[in-house]
Amino acid sequence: MKDHKKERAEARKKAEKLVAQMTLMEKASQLKYDAASVKRLGVPAYNYWNEALHGVARAGVATMFPQAIGMAAVFDDEEMKKVGDIIATEGRAKYNEYSSHGDRDIYKGLTFWSPNVNIFRDPRWGRGHETYGEDPYLTSRLGVKFVEGLQGDGPVMKAAACAKHFAVHSGPEAIRHEFNAEASLKDMWETYLPAFEALVTEADVEAVMGAYNRTNGEPCCGHHYLMEEVLRGKWKFDGHFTSDCWAIKDFHEHHMVTVTARESAAMALNAGCDLNCGNTYLHMLGAYQDGLVTEEKITESAVRLLTTRYLLGLFDGSEYDQIPYEKVECKEHLEQAEKMARKGCVLLKNDGVLPLDKSRIRTLGVVGPNADSRSALIGNYHGTASRYITVLEGIQDEAGEDIRVLYSEGCHLFEDKVEGLAWNQDRISEAVITAEHSDAVIICVGLDETLEGEEGDAGNGYASGDKKDLHLPKVQEELIERVTAVGKPTVVVLMAGSAIDLNYADENCNGILLAWYPGARGGKAVADLLFGKESPSGKLPVTFYRDLEGMPEFTDYSMKNRTYRYIEKEALYPFGYGLTYGDVKVTDAKLLGPVTRETDMEIEVTVKNEGTAATDEVVQIYIKDMDSPLAVRNHSLCAFKRVFLDAGESRTLVMQVKNAAMNVVDEKGERHIDSKHFRLYAGISQPDTRSTALTGTKPIELEVTLTGE
């Protein structure tokens, strides 16, 4: 990543010169997300609020990638960089045209409030599918590359990324406006902060967004420790900070840490919150009159915000002004979206039923509420596609003329019936009939953004977007049981953004393919995998638990018994797990050179595909501290690499494990190496017994002893 210190210094000088010509009122008008124009100085209006979680969102047509959790399952940071670059390209193409038509509305700027690098600590959280999963290392690597792709590497920033929601934030949605997340310094620096730190210190992310909740008593958009000591102090962040939307009014309305809107505006600004998504900063001049804020503070925030606009070339122009509108949803971008959908699908079970053999199937049954659902393709924070391909449509297209495809909705997504005057489960007999008349059955079930999402989103009255438990809606569980009982070869295609209770399907169905929310044309990708045009190769970025027994309350932010690093019992499907149609094994692994406290480790890994199908595979390396009582309970991912192997092919890779992987975190939040002995595991999964049983292969273990001790 290029060092942009020179460009930032020059942009800041221009911003300082411009802001110096503004009145106090004009400066204050720049601190709202819908910044006002200052016509006398040639400053047009600008709306900072734009979204790009998995494609340019909410502003018309754009390439729609799989939801973030589905892209995380690809386990490929370079592919994430390509995604970020495509989003920036389309964002520029749209901005160029919108601004030329005088359209400076919301969702049409170049400041994208993405990525979401919160840790998916609890499977009940409705917004977890916006994240890259439960692991801070994976989240860091994917987030850094997404930001690099989005912001570009030229003298002018292509688009501005935003790391959100800083910092300890992952539900519950229903009480997020008054909730206080209590986290130890150890958990903060071991789990909740590393991804934010990486995006700031490695990727030079332009913006950071604060969360709605309080953390350890302080509201996150006015937090002395997080914003001043850590972000701007320890990490030297020099971009701008924005509030989550209407979070600052929560200070006096819900958190009760202030009494008036003026006090809330002052608390946020004085802590370093430059931009208000909301309207509380309309009280900024009143706060100034009351002596709660100084003009210097208002000026500093205005300068930071205008610096971002100068860095984007919005005043001086740039090469990106020539990106044509035709780049939006172009062929190359759609191909990348389809590739991410294919590579992100996770094959959780396969007794040999997959890939489907066209020569043996005359009639294929497709049932389930998500089979022909567009909503199940898109996730939340999405754009609009010019074409959608559902799973049913993808299967119909791939089946061609030789295979009859029978379809039944099977049941409503969550309600008792499809037709209002009908008996309960009015579509289930049709689903059973479909199965009886088919040679094999695809059951397409799961959730969509109306069942797991954000508090306040349309339709999310169901637990405010969070899940009450890990179960599918009862109507879907009954559908699976009734269709499976017919006795035909049965494959479950799950479309969801989080861990789901799949115990019944695991015991009774022949195959399970997790498709996440695969994007506008995701149905084609799913069909390609089902029929074996390509091999599944995604890996779980989250743990699929058997149940919630022993897990802390949702409101408890301690990491005990959460995620693969701290879990105390066997998972149903572990983090890092996913099958392929090949049979890849790590056949050899060795350390290259001695290991000291100061050096990174290099590991030479040999992988071989002993199967008959070509496939991608993800080589994973985990580390375990063998000495320190401060170490995480289990082990931690410390390197990964996606590799393609033809049938019978063997390849040797050199993978690097950063020195920081040996660190532990103490109760004060301080990191240091506290051990001389470590164990590395090189394989295609975690080293836990469940992964070994599911994959049929065990990672190679390497003992590491620090030299010079």
H helices, E strands: number in the chain: 20, 23
Catalytic residue among 76, 77, 204, 244: 244
What's the half-sphere exposure (Cβ side, CA atoms, 13 Å) at 411? 25
- DSSP state string for 427-471: THHHHHHHHHT-SEEEEEEE--TTTSS-TTSTTTTSGGGS-SSSP
User: Is 540 within 8 Å of 507 (Cβ atoms)?
Assistant: no
- DSSP state string for 167-231: SS----GGGTTT-EE---HHHIIIIISHHHHHHHHTT--SEEEE-SSEETTEEGGG-IIIIIIII
- Is 3 catalytic? The answer is no
- Alpha helices (runs of H) in 243-388, residue ranges in sequence order: 250-253, 261-271, 284-289, 295-311, 331-344, 375-378
- CA-CA distance, 704 to 596, in Å (whole number)? 10
The continuous run of DSSP H or E covering 590 comes out as strand 584-591
**Selection from 532, 535, 512 nearest residue 694 by Cα:** 512
What would the 3-class secondary structure string for 487-536 be? Answer: CCCEEEEEECCCCCCCHHHHHHCCEEEECCCCCCCHHHHHHHHHCCCCCC
- CA-CA distance, 227 to 56, in Å (whole number)? 28
Residue holding tokens 């925030």? Answer: 301
Side chain identity at residue 216, one-letter code: N
Tokens of 219: 């509201």
Residue holding tokens 């590579």? Answer: 343
DSSP code at position 135: -
Pairing mode of beta strands 511-514, 490-495? parallel
Tell me the C-alpha to C-alpha distance, in Å, between residue 679 and each of 59, 340, 662, 672.
Answer: 49, 32, 10, 17
Catalytic residues: 244
